[in-house]
Amino acid sequence: MGKRQAKTILSHLTGDQAQVILYRLVHSGGAAAKAVLQEAEALLTSIDIEQVADNVFFCMDAIDLDTCWERSGRTRYGYVHPDEAALELVEEAMGPYEQQLKGYRQMGMEPQALDYLKGMVLGLYRFETSSASEFREYFEELGEGAAWSLVQSGKVTPEDKQQLREFLAADCPEWADLLD
């Protein structure tokens, strides 16, 4: 099989199919398993704070104000306040990032977890301070609230607090007191 054909086949795999293939390669052992694990480790250990921040910003910026209005109001179970619907949308947007952060912690990859957290907070900061979305304009300070929740909910180890304080002061000056 040539490189072109291999590229074509790989480009048509779904994420689930690719994951099954990786599991099979790892469980088969040998050189292929070792190569897959080395690549996975290299990918997981190289956190680009700016890339994480950009991803978080764009994810938050894509939240549609109309979706919030659709979710709020009277329901057959009671009333959903727009603030509650907005918070739910933010939690949904941030869920995959929080899961990744949790994964770093579970793997004992504390330096990577801290860098990933910094990227998340920076993305939320940029959303809060520079997004022109209607959602952000209507629900001010949701980004800051999400960042506060991240750093206050036990996801920051005591050892990381000083580094995070320095990061906030340098990169998110309006949120420098987020840990206080």
Domain residue spans of the chain: 1-46, 47-175
State the alpha helices, DSSP H only, in 29-109: 30-45, 49-61, 65-71, 82-106
Per-residue pLDDT of the chain (180 residues; tens, 9 = 90+): 666 676 677 787 788 887 888 788 788 888 877 877 887 777 778 899 999 999 999 999 999 999 988 888 888 888 988 888 999 999 999 999 999 999 998 999 989 999 999 999 999 999 999 999 999 888 878 888 889 888 887 667 777 888 999 999 999 999 988 887
Cα–Cα distance measured from residue 143 to residue 95, given in angstroms and rounded to the nearest whole number: 14
Cα–Cα distance measured from residue 164 to residue 132, given in angstroms and rounded to the nearest whole number: 27
Q: What is the pTM of this model?
A: 0.83
